[in-house]
Structure 1
């Protein structure tokens, strides 16, 4: 999953059941490989806790259209949010709770659908599109990246029928007529190593990233410097 946060030290970011893991590592210690997940505000980073909104570091994954989707574009979105589409979403992200039904697209309608935007969602959407085209060979769905902002802009300007965003729409994008459809969720777990810290607050995580806290002793841990990744 392409959820890496660029920071001071190179560490690995991995994904488990739709929860990407951001690592805070301590430097120069024999226990540097002894990494473990911490809870956030007392809540563990699990799929169920992301689903019920008790875990706070998460984001919606959306697709957007310029105005309400109609015709075959609407039916493709129904496929994405159906049990068939969500089975694919759930392999990498957290699927939505309420799924939709879909109908066969109209052969006499729009048969070419252009999608662009978030590279985070791109691989998953490509697999969904491949499944859709295998089911309906007369449909052609093209997928390109460019980032969430590009996907929103392309959809506003009519370059794309659907934009992919790994975030909620900005107010300025919604004001221009974009309508979002949530297709999944993603959570971010925090792992540390050899620090003695089992739980962090949102405020502490923010202060670690902005450089206010540079030593684990500042958040109740051992006297070791923090490497952020």
Structure 2
């Protein structure tokens, strides 16, 4: 079956009831994240999902998709040793975190995945292998579905660009990261002192990183008001390509950088760790799946909820 692409018209369709769903949720990649597992959002109207599973995935180039298929073993090597994404061709493809959340929140049979830091109460995050999807569990290693948030630059970054990176890695920047539901990577970082720099910085890439990057930009500009920071949201691969080409100062990738990207002159810096939350409709009574169950759903080995939960 040809892949379906879910676009920004989803919200409008939901709002007018064209798709027969409950409505368009207000969640999105720009919403304030939480580190909760989605528990506590249940209601008396919860029902067990049944029938055909609505599988939602991200577009090619998405760092979240790349990390998801690797962590769940959905990416396999072919006879020539090349990695192949085995995501079922019946999956509906969403082009951002916000569209993913809207799609799953409006589909009683839906399943998808998002950055843990973008999670809110419009959807339910499932336990995976018995572990709740929380920042604390990612940091302790209990919740293993996690990946790095990378930024990348080329040699010769401007002084103001380097100063912004220094802020991100400082105690002040890492606190912004933790306050927005992500996991800091520099627990003993020094405090940042305003530099008085001026100029413009263009940051581009992952829609999973862009919400916290916006918060980091705001905090930095409050200390350095003569700096302009433009955050362009797309996907990890686009961000890396733009950084390589020099059309942005900082690229964002919600995955490890590829060998080709590093050999192309990019230098990665891990600014945070993030979990990937597997999400379902908030009205679904299901609370947990195993890694093997998720893999079976996403490779198309099982296509009905009754078989997935058996």
TM-score (normalised: structure 2): 0.55
Contact persistence 1:20–1:186 (CA under 8 A) = no
How far did residue 68 of structure 1 move?
A: 7.8
Structure 1 position 205 matched with structure 2 position 223: no
SS, match of residue 172 in structure 2: helix
SS, match of residue 174 in structure 2: helix
| Pick aligned residue for 2:35 from 9, 17, 28 | 17
2: CA distance, partners of 1:116 / 1:38: 30
Contact persistence 1:67–1:177 (CA under 8 A) = yes
How far did residue 64 of structure 1 move?
A: 0.9
Structure 1 position 74 matched with structure 2 position 162: yes
1: CA distance, partners of 2:212 / 2:194: 21
Contact persistence 1:114–1:160 (CA under 8 A) = yes
Matches within 5 A, 1:80-159: 80-99=168-187, 100-101=189-190, 102-105=192-195, 107=197, 111-159=199-247
1: CA distance, partners of 2:250 / 2:274: 20
Task: Name the counterpart of 1:26.
Answer: 49
2: CA distance, partners of 1:180 / 1:19: 30
Q: Deviations over 1:119-173 (max 9, x none)?
A: 2222321222122122112322222223222211111111211111222212211
How far did residue 69 of structure 1 move?
A: 5.4
How far did residue 73 of structure 1 move?
A: 2.3
Contact persistence 2:138–2:144 (CA under 8 A) = yes
Q: Deviations over 1:18-74 (max 9, x none)?
A: 7689xxx7137xxx69x9754322323222221123312222212111148573322
More strand by share: 1
Larger relative contact order (Cα-Cα within 8 Å, sequence gap ≥ 6) = 1
1: CA distance, partners of 2:220 / 2:144: 34
Task: Name the counterpart of 1:162.
Answer: 250
Q: Deviations over 1:180-224 (max 9, x none)?
A: 1122222233456345xx643222201112221134454554xxx
2: CA distance, partners of 1:18 / 1:167: 22
Ranges in structure 1 where 5+ consecutive residues have no aligned partner: 222-229
SS, match of residue 208 in structure 2: helix
2: CA distance, partners of 1:134 / 1:70: 20
SS, match of residue 277 in structure 2: strand
Contact persistence 2:202–2:231 (CA under 8 A) = yes
2: CA distance, partners of 1:103 / 1:18: 33
Ranges in structure 2 where 5+ consecutive residues have no aligned partner: 7-18, 40-47, 52-107, 110-122
CA spacing shift, 1:156–1:37, aligned 2, 3 Å: closer
2: CA distance, partners of 1:61 / 1:18: 19
